[in-house]
Amino acid sequence: MAREIREYGINVNPEYLFGAIRDYLVNVENYEYIEYENENVFKRGLGMMSGPTFFKFMFSPGVVRMETWMKYSLLPGVYVGEIGTTGFVGAATKGPWKKRIDTIESIIFQNGGIILNGSFGYQNQNYGNPGAYNENMNAFQQNGWQVQQGYYTNTTGALPVNSNISKKEWLKNYASQSVKNDIRNAAIICYVSALITFVLSLVFKNTAEILSAIVFAGITLGAHLTKHKAWAIILCIYTGLNTIIGFVEEGVFLGYLYIIAAVAILISANKLDKAYKAYKNQL
C-alpha cells in the first residue's frame, strides 16, 4: 500500500495549526522537518532495523491534507518504496506511528477540524481568518509557503537533507527551539546566581569568591552561546568541584542549584549533539 492520505476541513489559521502540529512532531516525537526527495516532510528514524516514517502537510482554502508513509527496509539502512499504516510489514513500527496519527488528528479536531470525504477542491465557507489565508494565498507566499501539487506547504525551517550544513548553522536555523530555550532558561539561573555571589563577595571583600563568580558566569556564557556539550561538561565539573570544596571548608552542602542548572544545560546540549549527528549520518 502506498502513502496514506487524509483530508480535514479547518476553520482556523493554517499557520497556527501547522505550528501546533510541528511543535508536537519535532519537540515531543523527535521528528526532523527536512527537505527529502524534493518534498518538505517530517521524518523520524534512520531505517537501521525498520524503515523511517514520514508526515507531510499541505493546505488549500479551508482544507489541510495529511500524507503519511513508511519506507520499506530491505537491509539495515537500506530502504525503498512506500507503505501505509495497514498490513503486516513494519508491524512493530506501525503501532506507535498510528498513535501519532491519532494525536495529530486530535490537534486538528481541537482546532475545529472535520474529516472530509469530498474532492480536493473542497471550500470551507466558515473559514475563520480569511485575512491570513485569502483567495490568492499572498500571505502564505510572503511567509515561506510554496505551491506543491496544487496545495500550499510550509518551507520555513525545512532542513535540506543533501546539504552539508555546519553545526553552527544547524544550531542557529534548524535545531529544536524548545531545547535551545531549555539551555537559555538554565543559563539564566546560573547568571543570576553568579551575579548574587559577585555582589555579596564585593560587599564582604572576598576576592576568591569574586573570581569564582566571574569564571562561573564565563563558562555559563560559553555553554549558552555555543550550545556545545564540551562547554556544558566543563560547567558541570566546575560547579561540582566548587560544591565539594565548599562542603569541605564549611561543612555545608551549598551550590546545589548551580549543579541542577549545569546538568540541565548538559542534558539539552547532549540532545542537540545527538540530533546533529543523526542529521550528518543521513547525508
| Ordered DSSP codes for 167-230 | HHHHHHHTS-HHHHHHHHHHHHHHHHHHHHHHHHHHHTT-HHHHHHHHHHHHHHHHHHHH--HH
Adjacent-strand bridge partners of 7: 65
Q: What was the pLDDT predicted at 55?
A: 93
Judge whether 56 and 153 are in contact, CB under 8 Å: yes
Q: What was the pLDDT predicted at 119?
A: 34
Share of the chain above pLDDT 70, in %: 71
Higher pLDDT, 179 or 89: 179
- Please tell me the least confidently modeled range out of 68-82, 103-117, 203-217: 68-82
Query: In Å, how far are 78, 176, 187, 258, 267 from 233, measured between CA atoms?
Result: 36, 20, 14, 13, 10
**pLDDT above 50 for 118:** no
Q: pLDDT digit string (tens) for 56-72?
A: 998 877 788 899 988 87
Higher pLDDT, 253 or 30: 30
Average pLDDT over residues 81-108: 76
239 burial (CB, 10 Å; 0-12 / 13-18 / 19+) is: buried
149 burial (CB, 10 Å; 0-12 / 13-18 / 19+) is: exposed
**pLDDT above 80 for 164:** no
Q: What was the pLDDT predicted at 224?
A: 95
Q: What was the pLDDT predicted at 257?
A: 82
Q: What was the pLDDT predicted at 189?
A: 92
**pLDDT above 70 for 129:** no
Average pLDDT over residues 62-88: 73
Q: Which residues contact 234 (CB under 8 A, 6 or more apart)?
A: 219, 222, 223
* DSSP 8-state symbol, 120: T
Q: pLDDT digit string (tens) for 236-271?
A: 999 999 888 877 877 766 677 888 999 999 999 998
Q: What was the pLDDT predicted at 220?
A: 96
* DSSP 8-state symbol, 41: E
Which band of pLDDT confidence, cut at 50, 70 and 90, is reported for residue 275?
A: confident
Higher pLDDT, 96 or 174: 96
Pairing mode, strands 63-75 and 53-60? antiparallel
CA contacts within 13 A on the Cβ side of 253: 4
**pLDDT above 80 for 32:** yes
**pLDDT above 70 for 195:** yes
Q: What was the pLDDT predicted at 124?
A: 38
Q: What is the CA radius of gyration of the chain?
A: 24
